[in-house]
Amino acid sequence: MAATRVIASAGNAIGGTLLHKCQLRGKPQNLSLCFRNGGILPQRRRLFTCSAVYNPQVQTKEEGQPETLDYRVFFLDNSGKKISPWHDIPLHLGDGVFNFVVEIPKESSAKMEVATDELYTPIKQDTKKGKLRYYPYNINWNYGLLPQTWEDPSHANPEVEGAFGDNDPVDVVEIGESRARIGQVLRVKPLAALAMIDEGELDWKIVAISLDDPKASLVNDVNDVEKHFPGTLTAIRDWFRDYKIPDGKPANKFGLGNKPANKDYALKVIMETNESWAKLVKRSISSGELSLV
């Protein structure tokens, strides 16, 4: 029988904030939570009407053994009910702060990811041809996703070589000093964006820092990263450019002149991909094999 145990609480990261019961264009949806606009989306583009409710504690629960095909990390609310880290954790916390769900802790190599095609979208280890996937070397930053975002595979981005979205939530590279846990939810502020093109698909990398990091108050935009974390943006770009080369694949490419975009551009990416997610869960766009629960 697979092992099951509660391993962590994310309550410190998002407890005490406000979530929002949602309606999309006035029609109730099967969503418990949503992105409150918080001043980022212009009024004319808002998709939601929301009423605030107190955020329950969020816990993670392991099922199965790590580094096996059956291993899953599920997310639970304070009643013990499973929720989706992709759909049911709010994106925006106000004042330019966002929730970030950690899939891969820094200094580890197991390629963990939210299972977007499974019920409640738990975190699992990625596979290829039935075998567990690992990076060829450790990743040097906490890595994961922005909930309630989606890179639409039917949308060609004219600013990034017309590349189509990769059908996943937006990725985050968190540069703080602490090593997070799988399934931990951190409050982060975006600092920059890298437009990675992976086999023709656009795969945004939002560079961010946890608000709990000692240097968080010092970094507020892309130039601050170079000042207080010298060489980090280049290291992130080079790591994601080269990590497939040991497996015999070509290097990944980057749009936007091969340079990191600034914070405002990163916020624009977040806004647009949140809107795409809203259309997805509203079923204005075909979900294909993606789970909307």
pLDDT in tens, 2-20: 444 444 444 444 443 333 3
Secondary structure (DSSP) of 60-109: EEEES-TTSTT-EEEEE-TTS-EE-TTTSS-SEEETTEEEEEEEE-TTEE
The whole-model pTM stands at: 0.84
Pick the range with the lowest mean pLDDT from 53-57, 100-104, 118-122, 155-159.
53-57
Tens digit of pLDDT for each residue in 183-205? 999 999 999 999 999 999 999 99
Would you place residue 57 in the very low, low, confident or very high pLDDT band (cuts 50, 70, 90)?
confident
Would you place residue 1 in the very low, low, confident or very high pLDDT band (cuts 50, 70, 90)?
very low
The yes-or-no answer on residue 134 being catalytic is: no
Domains of the chain, CATH where assigned: 4-282 (3.90.80.10)
Structure tokens at 13: 């990261």
Residue 56 contacts residue 79 (beta carbons within 8 Å): yes
| Averaged confidence pLDDT in the chain | 86
Among 135, 137, 143, 265, the active-site one is 135
The number of C-alpha atoms within 13 Å of 254 and in the hemisphere containing its C-beta is 20
State what percent of residues in the chain have pLDDT above 90: 80
